[in-house]
């Protein structure tokens, strides 16, 4: 497996491998990583779909990319997916998946045309004082010290950050900035999360720095991610003959591990309540999804708080059993072992009529019911004790959503802290109480809140104990390689495996791991698109620097006199060169 960029390899079709005939593939987990791997097995590996089987513990596929109308609870979305232009593997996949909405078009075509005609932006990124605009547009408020800390982290080699927290590399100056507020609410980072992952995000998305205050760099699907991304992919796989075995919990994969060779020998599982196993030969391929950030999600309703099931859940138990067999298979306890550090709560709020949407419209200046972008990403309530953020995507968010209803999504990064209007922690709140807290923060008069929450909305809370398990402090080796050294017939996929430079908690990472796994095990004669290299593009770096300085010029930066003189001399030397042109274009001089 190798990486490529440009369109030379991107537009090519790999030749069929001489070894693919007679192989079978088993994919453990039915999330985006496994579904993508199955598609790459067919498209680029030339494997027949009937030789591919997906084992999924739930009764439907998609994993964390969900969006369902539960017959008993109503509409539920545990989270949303923010995408951008340079999700290279994601778009490589979806250029080949037929749209379910448009004839003779791919999912990528559908997505591209939609976001061209209805580009995203946030009319209000941060609010205070019950729905008032905090006026944070183009204001990162980084002190010189905080800006230097940011630059220093980007320049620090990853191996120097093993087991370090964000607070090990940033001071209170940085944590008090608008930049950190935008960052943590958009990506769900906490101060105790991994400095390695923080650095990866900074370098991975450096080309989007100037859009952090208005979220104009984001791209969104027409409907929820299940209906817009998962369902077309599943329909494609089903049409190719791929077998889906639902309600199947894989409890272990047995390996034979030698110094120079590792082979998967048996899959142990419980299917429809009965224990069974699948014996593997060395020609069989196994793709194993490790861990799950939505595992053990607990749901509530209007009158009850969310309740989390006991135990760590099947996906974590599986990884534990696998990891016990070889040190190259990772350390799952680093990711599931601190629920207090990896949990937060979300809630799906269905507005039953136009009473509540009137306040959304008043705040955003947009009509929530016209099918276009509404909030354009999260609106963060800066003075919320829960650090609440909320979003209203294009409506209807579900194909079966009744006309006149609006579905909103709310999350609180601090689930253990007492609220501002409701004097309880979010995890203790019923759905109706969460609605009341949200209504308070979008500017609904206090005397109207109880009646609106009771009669004009419906809310499903969801507590996710491992939702940011991806971000927990780690070091090299805690996440296994996609194909460990010596592995001959298996690969690990999903967000808890290691691939260079890319960032977890994204649709891109899931698809990339599936692609790299297939290309490695089948020796596919085509390169995997490399992670977008904006961190190595001087234009992106200068534009990011100018944005982070909130419009200040290089000459405005506080620095010792000798350094200021050196800077002046360098600028004189560069005068008349392309360097001066680039500095002017970026606004630094």
Tokens matching residue 545 = 């620097």
Catalytic residue among 201, 440, 509, 532: 201
In eight-state DSSP terms, residue 54 is E
Residue 223 annotated among the catalytic residues of the structure: no
Tokens matching residue 527 = 């390169």
Residue that is written with structure tokens 């760099």 in the block? 217
CA distance 63 to 357: 30
Q: Are 237 and 35 spatial neighbours (Cβ–Cβ below 8 Å)?
A: yes
Q: Are 460 and 74 spatial neighbours (Cβ–Cβ below 8 Å)?
A: yes
Catalytic residue among 56, 57, 82, 317: 82
Residue 573 annotated among the catalytic residues of the structure: no
Residue that is written with structure tokens 């990896």 in the block? 342
CA distance 399 to 51: 33
Residues 6+ apart with CB under 8 A from 499: 482, 509, 512, 513, 516
Q: Report the sign of the C-alpha dihedral through residues 99, 105, 109, 114, in that order.
A: negative
Using alpha carbons, select from 257, 140, 110 the residue that is nearest to residue 210.
Answer: 140
Residue that is written with structure tokens 């705040």 in the block? 363
CA distance 577 to 565: 20
| Helices and strands of the chain, counted as H and E runs | 19, 20
CA distance 518 to 523: 8
Which residues are catalytic, by number? 82, 201
């Amino acid at each position: 497996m190798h990486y490529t960029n440009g369109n030379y390899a991107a537009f090519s079709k790999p030749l069929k491998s001489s070894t693919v005939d007679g192989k079978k593939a088993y994919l453990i987990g039915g999330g985006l990583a496994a579904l993508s791997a199955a598609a790459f097995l067919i498209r680029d590996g030339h494997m027949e779909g009937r030789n591919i089987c997906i084992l999924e513990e739930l009764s439907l596929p998609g994993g964390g990319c969900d969006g369902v109308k539960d017959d008993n609870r109503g509409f539920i979305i545990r989270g949303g997916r923010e995408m951008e232009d340079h999700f290279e593997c994601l778009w490589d996949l979806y250029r080949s998946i037929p749209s379910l909405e448009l004839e003779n078009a791919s999912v990528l075509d559908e997505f591209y045309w939609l976001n061209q005609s209805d580009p995203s932006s946030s009319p209000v990124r941060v609010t205070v004082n019950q729905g008032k605009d905090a006026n944070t547009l183009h204001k990162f408020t980084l002190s010189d010290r905080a800006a230097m800390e940011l630059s220093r982290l980007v320049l620090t080699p990853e191996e120097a950050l093993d087991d370090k927290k964000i607070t090990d590399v940033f001071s209170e100056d940085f944590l008090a900035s608008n930049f950190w507020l935008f960052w943590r609410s958009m990506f769900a980072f906490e101060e105790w999360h991994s400095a390695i992952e923080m650095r990866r995000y900074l370098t991975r998305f450096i080309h989007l720095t100037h859009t952090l205050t208005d979220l104009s760099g984001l791209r969104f699907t027409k409907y929820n991610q299940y209906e817009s991304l998962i369902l077309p992919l599943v329909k494609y796989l089903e049409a190719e003959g791929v077998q889906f075995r639902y309600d199947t919990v894989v409890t272990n994969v047995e390996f034979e591990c030698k110094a120079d060779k590792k082979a998967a020998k048996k899959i142990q599982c419980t299917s429809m309540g009965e224990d069974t196993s699948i014996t593997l030969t060395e020609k069989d391929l196994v793709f194993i999804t490790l861990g799950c950030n939505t595992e053990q999600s607990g749901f509530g309703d209007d009158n009850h708080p969310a309740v989390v099931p006991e135990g760590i859940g099947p996906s974590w138990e599986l990884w534990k059993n696998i990891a016990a067999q070889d040190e190259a298979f990772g350390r799952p306890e680093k990711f599931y072992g601190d629920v207090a550090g990896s949990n937060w709560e979300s809630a799906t709020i269905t507005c039953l009529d136009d009473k509540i949407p009137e306040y959304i419209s008043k705040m955003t200046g947009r009509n929530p019911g016209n099918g276009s972008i509404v909030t354009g990403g999260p609106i963060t309530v800066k003075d919320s004790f829960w650090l609440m953020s909320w979003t209203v995507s294009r409506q209807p968010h579900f194909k079966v959503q009744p006309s006149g209803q609006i579905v909103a999504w709310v999350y609180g990064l601090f689930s253990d802290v007492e609220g501002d209007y409701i004097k309880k922690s979010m995890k203790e709140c019923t759905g109706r109480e969460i609605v009341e807290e949200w209504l308070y923060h979008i500017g609904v008069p206090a005397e109207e809140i109880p009646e609106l929450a009771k009669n004009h909305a419906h809310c499903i809370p969801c507590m996710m104990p491992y939702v940011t398990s991806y971000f927990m402090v780690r070091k090299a080796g805690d996440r296994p390689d996609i194909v460990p050294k010596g592995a001959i017939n298996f690969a690990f996929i999903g967000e808890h495996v290691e691939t260079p430079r890319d960032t977890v908690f994204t649709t891109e990472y899931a698809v990339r791991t599936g692609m790299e796994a297939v290309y490695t095990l089948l020796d596919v004669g085509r390169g995997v698109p490399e992670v977008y290299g904006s961190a190595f593009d001087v234009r992106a770096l200068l534009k990011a620097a100018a944005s982070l300085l909130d419009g200040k010029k290089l000459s405005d930066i506080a620095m010792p006199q000798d350094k200021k003189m050196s800077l002046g001399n360098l600028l004189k030397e560069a005068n008349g060169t392309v360097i001066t042109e680039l500095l002017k274009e970026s606004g630094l001089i």
